[in-house]
Amino acid sequence: MLDIILKGNVHKYGSNVNTDEIIPARYLNTTDHATLAKHCMEDIDKNFVKNVKPGDIIVAENNFGCGSSREHAPISIKAIGVSAVIAYSFARIFFRNSINIGLPILESEEAVKSIKNGEEIEINLNKGTIYNITKNKTYQSHSFPEFMQKIIRAGGLLEYIKK
Amino acid sequence: MGSTISEKILAVHCRKKTVEPGEFIEPKVDTALINDVTAPLAIKEFRKSEAKKVFDKNKITLVMDHFTPNKDILSAEHVKLAREFAKEHKIKHYFEGGNVGVEHAILPEKGIALPGDIIIGADSHTCTYGALGAFSTGVGSTDIAATMITGKIWFKVPNSIKFILKGKLNKWVSGKDIILYIISLIGVDGALYNSMEFAGPICKKLNMADRFTIANMAIEAGGKNGIFTPDEITEKYVIKKAIRKYKFYESDKDAIYLKTYEIDCSKILPQVALPFLPSNAKAVKDIKKTYIDQVVIGSCTNGRIEDLRIAASVIKKGKKINPNVRAIIIPATPATYSQALKERLLKIFIDAGSIVSAPTCGPCLGGHMGILASGEKCVSTTNRNFIGRMGHVQSQVFLANPAVAAASAIKGYIATPDEIK
């Protein structure tokens, strides 16, 4: 199996980035991925959409994605081309939504503490390693429990339940 | 080694004797809930899977509550999609238009959410039903799509944290103040991934409305669920409403808890959570004078008849809403609206100069029916005060109980009812 490598520049945020900030409710009258992408992170960082490039990675502190159950939040992040989110911890509904829709998320306190905004990093999803290209430094994230790996390998929850 | 109430309910639903925290399980679900915001994604995923039918037409509930009455063409299209899906699959519990109320108020009222159940909903405040002694939690739309096919959900069994509520309740202190106080103590991720179990002598003094408010906001501390042990107050509430059999569970005396907090309720005074996190709660008397532009009394947190009675009793005392304030009162369900009409509460609200709205989630999530402009401040009985939650990114929401919200509407600044002469 080929290793999945994700590479991009970092957009860094603090703790408790909530789903209202990721995608405000005024855009919840649509499920169109392109529209949701256009407003991603709008209420926390209005320049995010302008600055982000395909493959870029969001890095945040505690409790990323807290608040509502709206799947529109991870969808907007994935649809704008963000390849992964790294945090100390994730809010639980955001966590399961990301697994279910196939947005890679990693927990690593060591990586979050060290990585600065704008640095270039590379993630090896199979190994769970995060390589900081700017700093030439490698961090390890926790690997997912086997049950979740099954969902991820199947390509999302609905593919998993078909089996 | 004993089990907690949450562990017992989870174990029964996967036909196991016991479950352990950290274990992955796929229990059966008694009710799967979606609303007008989360249904479209779930229905799209369901259709993509090429499933022909839902697992049980009686165990899926659709509540079109967030943007009702439909605020624009896009939201009307979403409701149309959900309505057609409900008709196609003969879904029994479908609420729209004149039948719709805020989902977490209407499910208990209709006896759809019951003690001992596992209830999942694509809405984060699904944890509300823990007040009945059910295991209930919020999930995503894709989760609901999968459950609509299989009747099951995947969970990691949570650890439990126990909150022993002791002491006595001060004047104007309600379930809202207790939960805001707890969140301010442990933080917005203080119960992350864990079950919050509420126990102690104060529980017997809390009516179902207060218990719903407390369980409702478990998610604001990151909790997977919030749960009360059902008792005679629960029994009285559900006995005439239940649409099927239900069962009471309780934690064993030797159940294992990750942590136990003793909460001395005597120390809790009426609270207000300052922007921009529910954990920023302080006693109203300890904050600086804050003038406001709007008050919202309603939502799945505090839109029940008991909440409206308290608000009306305060407004009656003060007679007129402050001319600088828009006071928006939103009964959570049609039955609540009707009861408030019967008890002449709506007349008190309207005569005092408030706006009485149809049941809706509306302004709570910045949907419609009371959106804030830049710089505006609102005292709200809802559950979140995040940046931009009720409108402009530079507006502010202050969370409080219905008595404080009503008193603030009269005074024009954040106040307790004791400040009304």
What does the pLDDT average to over B220-235?
A: 98
Chain B: closest CA distance from residue A90 (Å): 9
Q: Is the residue at A162 inside a domain? A: no
Pairwise CA distance, residues B136 & B27, whole Å = 12
Q: Is-contact B131 B211, C-beta < 8 A?
A: yes
Q: Does A33 touch chain B (CB under 8 A)?
A: no
Do the strands B259-264 and B160-166 form a parallel or antiparallel pair, or are they unpaired? parallel
Residues B362 and B333 in one domain: yes
- The candidate with the shortest Cα–Cα distance to B114, out of B100, B93, B99, is B93
Q: Is-contact B350 B356, C-beta < 8 A?
A: yes
At A1 the pLDDT is 60
> What are the beta bridge partners of residue B329?
B297, B356
- The candidate with the shortest Cα–Cα distance to B337, out of B1, B12, B102, B94, is B102
Closest CA in chain B for residue A64: B189
CA distances from B81 to A20, A76, B84, B85, B365 (A): 24, 22, 5, 6, 22
Residues B250 and B366 in one domain: no
Query: Average per-residue pLDDT in chain A?
Result: 94
Write the burial class of residue A157 (CB in 10 Å: 0-12 exposed, 13-18 middle, 19+ buried): buried
**Chain B residues within an 8 Å CB radius of A100:** 140, 142-143, 146
> At which residue do the structure tokens 């624009």 appear?
B72
Residues B252 and B307 in one domain: no
Residues B250 and B284 in one domain: no
Q: How confident is the model at residue A3 (pLDDT cuts 50, 70, 90)?
A: confident
Q: Is the residue at A127 inside a domain? A: yes
Read off the pTM.
0.97
Closest CA in chain A for residue B366: A25
Chain B: closest CA distance from residue A161 (Å): 7
Q: Is-contact B167 B267, C-beta < 8 A?
A: yes
Residues B233 and B341 in one domain: no
**Chain B residues within an 8 Å CB radius of A157:** 142-143, 145-146, 154
- Picking from A148-152, B69-73, B134-138, B232-236, which range would have the lowest pLDDT averaged per residue? A148-152
Q: What is the pLDDT of residues A14-68, one digit of tens each?
A: 999 999 999 999 999 999 999 999 999 999 999 999 999 999 999 999 999 999 9
Question: Is the pLDDT at B319 greater than 70, yes or no?
Answer: yes
- Between chains, do B37 and A147 touch, taking CB under 8 Å as contact? no
Residues B232 and B338 in one domain: no
Q: Is the residue at A51 inside a domain? A: yes
- Between chains, do A43 and B122 touch, taking CB under 8 Å as contact? no
Q: What is the pLDDT of residues B143-169, one digit of tens each?
A: 999 999 999 999 999 999 999 999 999
- The candidate with the shortest Cα–Cα distance to B149, out of B62, B49, B81, is B49
What is the domain count for chain A?
1
Taken in order A24, A115, B219, B166, the sign of the CA dihedral is: negative
**Chain A residues within an 8 Å CB radius of B32:** none
Query: Average per-residue pLDDT in chain B?
Result: 98
Pairwise CA distance, residues B393 & B371, whole Å = 11
Question: Is the pLDDT at A93 greater than 80, yes or no?
Answer: yes
- Between chains, do B40 and A31 touch, taking CB under 8 Å as contact? yes
> At which residue do the structure tokens 């999302």 appear?
A156
Say which of A30, A67, A69 has its CB closest to residue B140.
A69
**Of A42, A47, A69, A93, which to mutate for an interface test with B (greatest number of B Cβ within 10 Å)?**
A69
Residues B32 and B89 in one domain: yes
What is the domain count for chain B?
2
What is the CATH classification number for the domain harbouring A63? 3.20.19.10
Q: What's chain B look like in SS3?
A: CECCHHHHHHHHHCCCCCCCCCCEECCECCEEEEECCCHHHHHHHHHHCCCCCCCCCCCEEEECCCCCCCCCHHHHHHHHHHHHHHHHCCCCEEECHHHCCCHHHHHHHCCCCCCCCEEEECCHHHHHHHHHCCEEEECCHHHHHHHHHHCECCEECCCEEEEEEECCCCCCCCHHHHHHHHHHHHCCCCCCCCEEEEECHHHHHCCHHHHHHHHHHHHHHCCCEEEECCCHHHHHHHCCCCCCCCCCCCCCCCECCCEEEEEEHHHCCCEEECCCCCCCEEEHHHCCCCECCEEEECHHHHCCHHHHHHHHHHHHHHCCCCCCCEEEECCCCHHHHHHHHHCCHHHHHHHCCCEECCCCCHHHHCCCCCCECCCCEEEECCCCCCCCCCECCCCEEEECCHHHHHHHHHHCECCCHHHCC
Residues B114 and B171 in one domain: yes
Q: How confident is the model at residue A153 (pLDDT cuts 50, 70, 90)?
A: confident
Residues B83 and B228 in one domain: yes
**Alpha-carbon dihedral of residues B412, B418, B419, B421, nearest 10 degrees?**
110
Q: Does A18 touch chain B (CB under 8 A)?
A: yes
- Between chains, do B143 and A101 touch, taking CB under 8 Å as contact? no
- Between chains, do A71 and B386 touch, taking CB under 8 Å as contact? no
- Between chains, do A69 and B123 touch, taking CB under 8 Å as contact? yes
Question: Is the pLDDT at A124 greater than 80, yes or no?
Answer: yes
Pairwise CA distance, residues A117 & A124, whole Å = 20
Of the candidates B263, B290, B310, which is a domain's last residue?
A: B263
Write the burial class of residue B402 (CB in 10 Å: 0-12 exposed, 13-18 middle, 19+ buried): buried
**Of B301, B360, B361, B386, which to mutate for an interface test with A (greatest number of A Cβ within 10 Å)?**
B386
Domain containing residue B53: 5-263
Closest CA in chain B for residue A88: B189
Domain containing residue A131: 5-155
Residues B228 and B311 in one domain: no
Q: What is the pLDDT of residues B4-44, one digit of tens each?
A: 999 999 999 999 999 999 999 999 999 999 999 999 999 99
Closest CA in chain B for residue A61: B189
- Picking from B11-20, B316-325, B380-389, B392-401, which range would have the lowest pLDDT averaged per residue? B316-325
- Between chains, do B49 and A158 touch, taking CB under 8 Å as contact? yes
Of the candidates B211, B237, B263, which is a domain's last residue?
A: B263
Residues B100 and B18 in one domain: yes
What does the pLDDT average to over B359-373?
A: 98
Six token digits for residue B276? 């921009």
Question: Is the pLDDT at A163 greater than 80, yes or no?
Answer: no
Q: Phi, psi (5° rounding) for residue B62?
A: -115, 125
Q: What is the pLDDT of residues B40-88, one digit of tens each?
A: 999 999 999 989 999 999 999 999 999 999 999 999 999 999 999 999 9
- Between chains, do B224 and A92 touch, taking CB under 8 Å as contact? yes
Question: Is the pLDDT at A151 greater than 90, yes or no?
Answer: no
- Between chains, do A161 and B24 touch, taking CB under 8 Å as contact? no
- Between chains, do A16 and B277 touch, taking CB under 8 Å as contact? yes
Closest CA in chain B for residue A73: B140
Q: Is-contact B278 B411, C-beta < 8 A?
A: no
Q: Does A16 touch chain B (CB under 8 A)?
A: yes
- Between chains, do B146 and A161 touch, taking CB under 8 Å as contact? yes
At A49 the pLDDT is 98
Q: Is the residue at A160 inside a domain? A: no
Pairwise CA distance, residues B325 & B378, whole Å = 9
Cβ contacts of residue B104 below 8 Å, gap of 6+?
A: B123, B125, B126, B128, B129, B212, B216, B300
**Chain A residues within an 8 Å CB radius of B146:** 100, 157-158, 161
What is the CATH classification number for the domain harbouring B88? 3.30.499.10
Q: What's chain A look like in SS3?
A: CCCCEEEEEEEECCCCCEHHHHCCHHHCCCCCHHHHHHCCCCCCCCCHHHHCCCCCEEEECCCECECCCCCHHHHHHHHCCCCEEEECCECHHHHHHHHHHCCCEEECHHHHHHCCCCCEEEEECCCCEEEECCCCEEEECCCCCHHHHHHHHHCCHHHHHHC
The interface residues of chain A toward chain B in range 46-75, judged by CB-CB distance below 8 A, are 62-63, 66-72, 75
- Between chains, do A71 and B38 touch, taking CB under 8 Å as contact? yes
Q: Does A20 touch chain B (CB under 8 A)?
A: yes
What does the pLDDT average to over B167-190?
A: 98
Chain A: closest CA distance from residue B265 (Å): 26
* Inter-chain contacts counted by CB atoms under 8 A, chains A and B: 127
Of the candidates B209, B239, B263, which is a domain's last residue?
A: B263
Say which of B41, B146, B193 has its CB closest to residue A71.
B41
Pairwise CA distance, residues B140 & B37, whole Å = 11
Residues B243 and B290 in one domain: no
**ipTM at complex level:** 0.95
**Chain B residues within an 8 Å CB radius of A18:** 384, 386-387
Question: Is the pLDDT at B217 greater than 70, yes or no?
Answer: yes
